[in-house]
Chains A and B, each alone.
Chain A
């Protein structure tokens, strides 16, 4: 057992009640990740059910319009359930099944991870319960119904600020109530070890495919890869197989909300400090006494007060850069990509698109960059309409 440290970050800061099971999870994962049958089944699901490999799409219009580097989109939005979340969920829910678990639980913010977990549980025949902040169940009523349609039970969490961080806390509490037959399927590269490792491994398929494909079509590595960062699962997936390629810039885009100098942001790296929360030592938005701060972003998927420990480490060692993008910039990029390429991105992914719009023109024509388009934007359309002053509800 390594206890999962990335430099000073990571670890296993959880109640004793959960330790036995978290060690069991690590042992099971270490076994099945090398198990032929497990891998065959997972690869088959990724290919035949989720629709992998995802496309590496050359955004010709955008490239022409912006000038500079060629822009590629890694189309995770085309996966089944509409985002990168399915990569991790198929891995973890299949693992739960191999471990003999009967039930999975998960947290969700906007509902992407909840929907993906409910989907995998339906497919693999496991019971599923989702924890979602009460505020989010109101904002994302359609996703609540979607999860129920898939056979999951959705619990509205009323504690704390009734948003994503509270949903994580409540899922941890529920897991400590019922550890024997239940696996907590965590949605991001956060929480106690081994979750940051497991989720990263399952998401690293994004950069594995992207690296192979870009070398095939461009014959060279990208100058930069870009991804939005909340907890950081699509970003670590996009970064992982490029970490050793020192010439490739790894750029994570954080939610600056209404601006990092206001109270309304979720920019953990830009504004946060070192702390211990949700099982990990990492960087969090918090006050001088270590009380976790309420955070804000237009994007519910980035609305988390911390960041995964491996990102904190990549930041500290300066291997990756983390840059804040405001709501306004993200919404502009959301509209821009829709009009230029006919692709409506998730508002989360639009944060990465926004920075690509600034970066591409500063690079040469023979260079290329890849944006992880982590999800599709159908879920955001009504919200963006309201942001633009149209009174549209789903």
Chain B
């Protein structure tokens, strides 16, 4: 189990706050600024989404941001260039969130090699379950990159199997359905967490549906970290020119709330 990087750099400052960004939304320049601003605000890890034309695990907000980014001509190469610029200024932990096809068509070796160059230590693949993981993991290992596993509310008797094979950290899906803000999260996250804890020491982060500090604080009781995506994309959308400050304040508030 090779969790050291994540244990020592992400989950070492209390509960981790992990914001998501669609790379290229609203522009790639904005993404660059946002990443640095989120680091300043106390983000422990940033999930950089590579936009895909048909993201089946996403709700309307991230779908729309992905479409817009693609319309602006964003692609993997341009995202790598942007991250290279970030790396000149910061060593903040980052992971990619991407659909299997984006890696597969780009070339697995080429993709994971880029990750290594950019010090991206993990890749989250929402359409690659345990059964299909090996194909990706085999190559990722060569470049010291971890494939992050998902555990969902429906995983039931699969939890142990997934947890046992997990590397980096575990992404626990809070709710059925796709990404997107929810009023209420009804999954028994405590019970899922208990099974994971009996099985592995790999750290966990819960995502899907989380949006406000009160909710995040509650969720954080059952994990080592909290992931927020759609709420941030929405905040960027409605904040106009003020988006950097708005996101800074939000990230700061969330990081504080989950560690109260």
Q: Do A and B bind each other?
A: yes
A→B interface (CB under 8 Å): 3, 11-21, 159-160, 165-166, 169, 172-173, 176-179, 273-279, 281, 284, 286, 288-292
In the assembled complex, how far is the CB of residue B242 from the closest CB belonging to chain A, in whole angstroms? 28
Beyond contacts A15-B152, A275-B104, A289-B76: 13 other A-B pairs, Cβ-Cβ < 8 A, are: A11-B132, A13-B132, A15-B150, A16-B130, A159-B63, A159-B67, A160-B54, A160-B67, A176-B178, A177-B176, A275-B105, A276-B127, A291-B52
B6-14, B89-97, B153-161: which one contacts chain A? B153-161
In the assembled complex, how far is the CB of residue A53 from the closest CB belonging to chain B, in whole angstroms? 38
In the assembled complex, how far is the CB of residue A347 from the closest CB belonging to chain B, in whole angstroms? 25
CA distance A273 to B52 in the complex (A): 17
Contact B176 A290 (CB under 8 A): no
For B131, what are the chain A residues with a Cβ–Cβ distance below 8 Å? Answer: 3, 11-12, 19
CA distance A304 to B128 in the complex (A): 22
Which A-chain residue is minimally distant from B150 (CB atoms)?
A16
CA distance A20 to B151 in the complex (A): 11
Contact B127 A177 (CB under 8 A): no
In the assembled complex, how far is the CB of residue A165 from the closest CB belonging to chain B, in whole angstroms? 6
CA distance A288 to B106 in the complex (A): 7
CA distance A177 to B57 in the complex (A): 10
A-B contact pairs, 16 of them (CB 8 A): A3-B131, A11-B132, A15-B126, A16-B158, A17-B173, A18-B154, A19-B155, A19-B158, A20-B152, A20-B155, A165-B54, A166-B54, A176-B176, A289-B106, A291-B52, A292-B53
| Option from A3, A16, A166, A173 in Cβ contact (under 8 Å) with B178 | A173
- 7 shortest interchain CB distances as A-B pairs: A290-B105, A177-B177, A290-B101, A16-B150, A17-B152, A291-B53, A276-B100
Contact B130 A288 (CB under 8 A): no
For B67, what are the chain A residues with a Cβ–Cβ distance below 8 Å? Answer: 159-160
In the assembled complex, how far is the CB of residue A171 from the closest CB belonging to chain B, in whole angstroms? 10
B→A interface (CB under 8 Å): 52-57, 59-60, 63, 67, 70, 75-76, 99-106, 126-132, 149-156, 158, 162, 173, 176-178
The answer to whether residues A159 and B53 also contact, given A15-B127, A19-B129 and a CB cut-off of 8 A, is no
Contact B127 A17 (CB under 8 A): no
CA distance A11 to B131 in the complex (A): 9
For A288, what are the chain B residues with a Cβ–Cβ distance below 8 Å? Answer: 105
For A172, what are the chain B residues with a Cβ–Cβ distance below 8 Å? Answer: 56
Contact B178 A14 (CB under 8 A): no
Contact B176 A179 (CB under 8 A): yes
Which B-chain residue is minimally distant from A11 (CB atoms)?
B132
CA distance A160 to B178 in the complex (A): 16
In the assembled complex, how far is the CB of residue A299 from the closest CB belonging to chain B, in whole angstroms? 21
Contact B53 A160 (CB under 8 A): yes
For B59, what are the chain A residues with a Cβ–Cβ distance below 8 Å? Answer: 173
Q: Is the interface of A mostly helix, strand, loop or mixed?
A: mixed
In the assembled complex, how far is the CB of residue B139 from the closest CB belonging to chain A, in whole angstroms? 14
Contact B176 A17 (CB under 8 A): yes
Which A-chain residue is minimally distant from B162 (CB atoms)?
A16
For A275, what are the chain B residues with a Cβ–Cβ distance below 8 Å? Answer: 101, 104-105
For A159, what are the chain B residues with a Cβ–Cβ distance below 8 Å? Answer: 60, 63, 67
CA distance A273 to B126 in the complex (A): 22
Most chain A beta-carbon contacts within 10 A, residue among B56, B76, B103, B152: B56
For A165, what are the chain B residues with a Cβ–Cβ distance below 8 Å? Answer: 54
CA distance A291 to B103 in the complex (A): 11
Contact B105 A286 (CB under 8 A): yes
In the assembled complex, how far is the CB of residue B187 from the closest CB belonging to chain A, in whole angstroms? 11
CA distance A11 to B177 in the complex (A): 21
In the assembled complex, how far is the CB of residue A268 from the closest CB belonging to chain B, in whole angstroms? 14
In the assembled complex, how far is the CB of residue B66 from the closest CB belonging to chain A, in whole angstroms? 10
Which A-chain residue is minimally distant from B60 (CB atoms)?
A159
CA distance A275 to B130 in the complex (A): 19
For B54, what are the chain A residues with a Cβ–Cβ distance below 8 Å? Answer: 160, 165-166, 169, 277-278, 292
Which A-chain residue is minimally distant from B105 (CB atoms)?
A290
For B60, what are the chain A residues with a Cβ–Cβ distance below 8 Å? Answer: 159
CA distance A287 to B162 in the complex (A): 33
| Option from B105, B130, B156 in Cβ contact (under 8 Å) with A289 | B105
The answer to whether residues A169 and B154 also contact, given A177-B177, A276-B100, A276-B127 and a CB cut-off of 8 A, is no
CA distance A15 to B70 in the complex (A): 22
The answer to whether residues A13 and B100 also contact, given A160-B54, A275-B105, A291-B70 and a CB cut-off of 8 A, is yes
CA distance A15 to B152 in the complex (A): 9
CA distance A275 to B54 in the complex (A): 13
CA distance A19 to B149 in the complex (A): 13
CA distance A20 to B129 in the complex (A): 11
Contact B132 A289 (CB under 8 A): no
| Option from A11, A20, A289 in Cβ contact (under 8 Å) with B102 | A289
Most chain A beta-carbon contacts within 10 A, residue among B55, B101, B102, B149: B101
For A20, what are the chain B residues with a Cβ–Cβ distance below 8 Å? Answer: 152, 154-156, 158
Which A-chain residue is minimally distant from B128 (CB atoms)?
A13
CA distance A288 to B105 in the complex (A): 7
In the assembled complex, how far is the CB of residue B44 from the closest CB belonging to chain A, in whole angstroms? 23
Most chain B beta-carbon contacts within 10 A, residue among A17, A18, A20: A17
| Option from A160, A178, A290 in Cβ contact (under 8 Å) with B104 | A290
The answer to whether residues A173 and B101 also contact, given A13-B127, A292-B54 and a CB cut-off of 8 A, is no
For B177, what are the chain A residues with a Cβ–Cβ distance below 8 Å? Answer: 17, 173, 176-178
Contact A16 B152 (CB under 8 A): yes
For A274, what are the chain B residues with a Cβ–Cβ distance below 8 Å? Answer: 104-105
| Option from A14, A21, A273, A291 in Cβ contact (under 8 Å) with B127 | A14
Contact B132 A21 (CB under 8 A): no
CA distance A288 to B151 in the complex (A): 31
In the assembled complex, how far is the CB of residue A231 from the closest CB belonging to chain B, in whole angstroms? 15
CA distance A371 to B106 in the complex (A): 39
Contact B151 A273 (CB under 8 A): no
